[in-house]
Amino acid sequence: MSSPQIPVHKGLEDIYVKESKICYIDGERSKLFYRGYDIDDLVKYSTFEEVSYLLLYGKLPNRKELNEFQKSIRDSYTLNPEVIKLLEIFRRDTHPMDLLRTCISYLSTFDDSPKDQSLEKNLSRVIKIIGSIPTILGTFDRIRRGKKPIEPNPKLNLASHFLYLLRGKEPKERDAKIMDTALILHAEHEMNASTFACTVTASTKSDIYSSITSGIGTLKGPLHGGANEEALRMFLEIGSIDKVKPYLDELFVKGKKVMGFGHRIYKNYDPRYRILKEIAKEMSKERGNHKLFEIALKVEEEVLKRLEKYNIYPNVDFYSGLVFYFLNIPIDFFTCVFTMGRVVGWSAHIIEYWMDNRLIRPKALYKGELNLPYKPIEQRE
């Protein structure tokens, strides 16, 4: 069968699926903007809660609005007892992303008015999900280590609260600030794979829980959110600077990817990478753990040499895993931390798309045969 000459955009590269006021990426100049605000300024002057309000409501909050928003999130730290029971059922070796995907879906069963799809109600659902994720993760980590879960602390902001649940004590201000910065950097990134997955589900007029669950399933993949976990495991596996070159030689011979490198949008350095690299450098000094950072630097140097003609650079995942590792976050939680931030961006895009909804239904260019004669099963070899 001959097919018409129709271009197929594999990976939907450079295909626009909607107009948006949420995020702008200047891939040529390595710039990232949330609602028009430069990510560098937001990291320097803002907080994750304030950035979350900006992404969801379209403007920076005043003091009263921020206080009310923070209170709503902190009121959501406490989980329904049935969710705690569910966490106790999971196998202890369950990957936290699988657990998180299931728990977010389960939250929908406690919705008191599922048919109410008003903007106000959906925003309240989003806030509930944002506040629940740290507690879900912190509680499971305690359970799987044979420890009693800790009661949520509504006096702490979300970043501090997450570390508190993992550690059993309030984090130092420095650690809390680093965690907050990481959440800001992961909060939004335009129409990436997981955001698109959320948008596709939302376009069917499904609910916010289903849409976010789609995003979690997509983010889990090692070519997306899972790359931070894989990058850190690579540094640990290499073990020392002198083993970097032979490790990469073998990797390149086998044609495997170097996790934490390359990005579909950025034609230069990822601006989030620059911020996280500096944080990782400072933390390696503070923690007295120079080896891993030096391995990462050497890997970066070697890969840049080998990929120089391709203009492939490190992305957000290359150093984010190292930062999380220095914060003593379990390695299998890294992608969940990504989720903790990104759920805000997902929700903003879902709500924005609903304002002018159209069912997403692309096409596949058929290349198979037609009009084949049907044979009964007795006549088939």
Q: Are 292 and 237 in contact (CB under 8 A)?
A: no
Exactly one of 224, 270, 317, 349 is catalytic; name it: 317
Q: Are 224 and 193 in contact (CB under 8 A)?
A: yes
Q: What are phi and psi of 8, to 5 degrees?
A: -110, 120
Query: In the numeric block, which tokens belong to residue 263?
Result: 């990005």
Sheet holding 31-34, edge to edge: 23-26, 31-34, 37-38
Exactly one of 186, 189, 224, 263 is catalytic; name it: 263
Distance CA 323, CA 184 (A): 14
Give ∠ CA 217-337-280 in degrees, rounded to 5: 135
Distance CA 97, CA 64 (A): 35
Q: What radius of gyration do the chain's Cα atoms show?
A: 22
Longest dimension (CA), the chain: 77
Question: Within the chain, how many helices (H) and strands (E) appear?
Answer: 16, 3
Task: Give which of 331, 295, 299, 294 is closest to 314, Cα–Cα.
Answer: 299
* Residue 263 falls in the annotated catalytic set: yes
Distance CA 295, CA 377 (A): 60
Q: Give the chain's length.
A: 381
The CB density around residue 345, as the number of other CB atoms within 10 Å, is: 26
Distance CA 13, CA 20 (A): 17
* Residue 317 falls in the annotated catalytic set: yes
Interhelix angle for 227-238 vs 316-326, to 10°? 70
User: Could you tell me if residue 104 is left (phi over 0), alpha (psi between -120 and 50 degrees) or otherwise beta?
Assistant: alpha
234 sits in which H/E element:
helix 227-238
Q: What are phi and psi of 110, to 5 degrees?
A: -105, 5
Query: In the numeric block, which tokens belong to residue 59?
Result: 């403007």
Distance CA 101, CA 81 (A): 18
Sequence-separated (6 or more) residues with CB below 8 Å from residue 373: none
Instruction: Please list the active-site residues.
Output: 263, 317
